[in-house]
C-alpha cells in the first residue's frame, strides 16, 4: 500500500514519538504540514487531510503545541460520512467498529500514544481494543466527557487499559474544574485534570480559535505523557 510505505519512511527517518489522533480527520495546516505524517480513513474513502469538521485539527494542533514539535502525528479518521445529526457536536460516529478498528490500526503502526477526544460510552469492542493497545505498551488518553456528571461514561475502557490508559477532565484557566466535565467517582482507574477552557488552537482552515471541553484537555495530557515516556527511555538507555 503506497501510503503505508510513505508513512513508514517518514517514521523511520525521525526519532520522534508517533501519536495517533483518532478523530474527525486532520488538515495539514501550516503548523501541522511537517507533523502529520499520514491519514487513514477508517469510516470511508475520503481524500486525506480534507476534514469536514475542525475538531481533529484542533486536537492535533494542541498536541503539537504542547509537545513543542517533539512528536509526529498520524490521523485516523472515524467521523461518519453522513455527518452529525442536528444538535450533536462532531466528530459523530454511531458505530463502535471504526473506532475499535482505528485503535487496532494504531497498534499495527507502532504508535507511542493514542488520543481519543471522543464522546465515548463503554462499549465492549472499544474496551477490548484499548486493552490490546495498552498491553502493547501504548499510552491511551481519553476525554472524560462533557455531560457534567459525577461518573464518566468510559470507565471500563480506563480500567481495561490501566495503568497506561487515562481519562482527562477539564479545568478553567485558574485550575478549577469546568462545570461540564464528567468527574471521577472511583480510584481504580486513572483520572487527571488539564486545562480545557479556552484552549488556544487552530481550525482546519488555519485560523486561530479556542476550544472548550475535555476534548481539548486530553491532547495536553497526551503530549505530556509521550514526552515523559521518551525521557524515561532515554534515561534507561543512558542517552541523557
Point out the residues that are catalytic. Answer: 23, 55, 215
CA neighbours within 13 Å on the CB side: how many for 98? 22
Walk across the sheet containing 72-77 and list its strands. 36-41, 72-77, 18-23, 113-116, 139-143, 165-171, 191-195
β-pair type (36-41, 18-23): unpaired
Degrees to nearest 5, angle at CA 117 with 115 and 122: 100
C-alpha gyration radius of the chain: 16
Alpha carbons 211 and 85: distance in angstroms, whole number: 21
Alpha carbons 52 and 183: distance in angstroms, whole number: 30
Degrees to nearest 5, angle at CA 84 with 80 and 87: 160
Degrees to nearest 5, angle at CA 19 with 143 and 130: 55
> Which residues contact residue 76 at a Cβ distance below 8 angstroms, ignoring those fewer than 6 apart?
20, 21, 22, 23, 39, 40, 42, 102, 105, 106
Grid cell, residue 23, equals 478523530
Alpha carbons 136 and 122: distance in angstroms, whole number: 21
Amino acid at each position: 500500500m503506497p501510503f503505508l510505505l510513505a508513512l513508514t519512511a517518514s517514521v523511520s527517518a525521525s526519532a520522534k514519538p508517533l501519536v495517533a489522533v483518532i478523530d474527525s480527520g486532520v488538515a495539514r495546516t501550516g503548523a501541522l504540514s511537517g507533523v502529520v505524517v499520514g491519514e487513514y480513513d477508517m469510516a470511508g474513502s475520503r481524500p486525506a487531510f480534507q476534514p469536514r469538521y475542525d475538531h481533529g485539527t484542533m486536537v492535533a494542533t494542541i498536541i503539537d503545541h504542547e509537545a513543542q514539535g517533539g512528536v509526529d502525528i498520524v490521523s485516523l479518521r472515524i467521523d461518519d460520512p453522513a455527518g452529525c445529526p442536528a444538535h450533536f457536536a462532531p466528530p459523530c460516529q454511531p458505530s463502535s467498529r471504526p473506532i475499535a478498528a482505528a485503535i487496532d490500526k494504531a497498534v499495527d503502526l507502532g504508535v507511542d500514544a493514542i488520543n481519543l477526544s471522543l464522546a465515548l460510552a463503554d462499549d465492549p469492542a472499544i474496551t477490548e481494543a484499548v486493552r490490546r493497545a495498552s498491553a502493547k505498551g501504548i499510552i491511551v488518553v481519553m476525554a472524560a466527557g462533557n455531560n457534567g456528571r459525577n461518573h464518566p461514561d468510559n470507565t471500563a475502557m480506563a480500567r481495561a487499559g490501566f495503568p497506561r490508559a487515562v481519562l482527562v477532565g477539564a479545568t478553567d484557566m485558574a485550575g478549577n474544574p469546568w462545570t461540564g466535565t464528567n468527574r471521577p467517582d472511583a480510584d481504580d482507574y486513572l483520572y487527571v485534570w488539564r486545562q480545557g477552557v479556552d484552549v488556544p488552537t487552530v481550525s482546519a482552515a488555519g485560523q486561530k480559535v479556542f476550544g472548550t471541553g475535555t476534548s481539548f484537555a486530553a491532547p495536553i495530557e497526551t503530549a505530556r505523557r509521550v514526552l515523559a515516556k521518551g525521557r524515561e527511555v532515554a534515561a534507561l538507555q543512558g542517552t541523557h
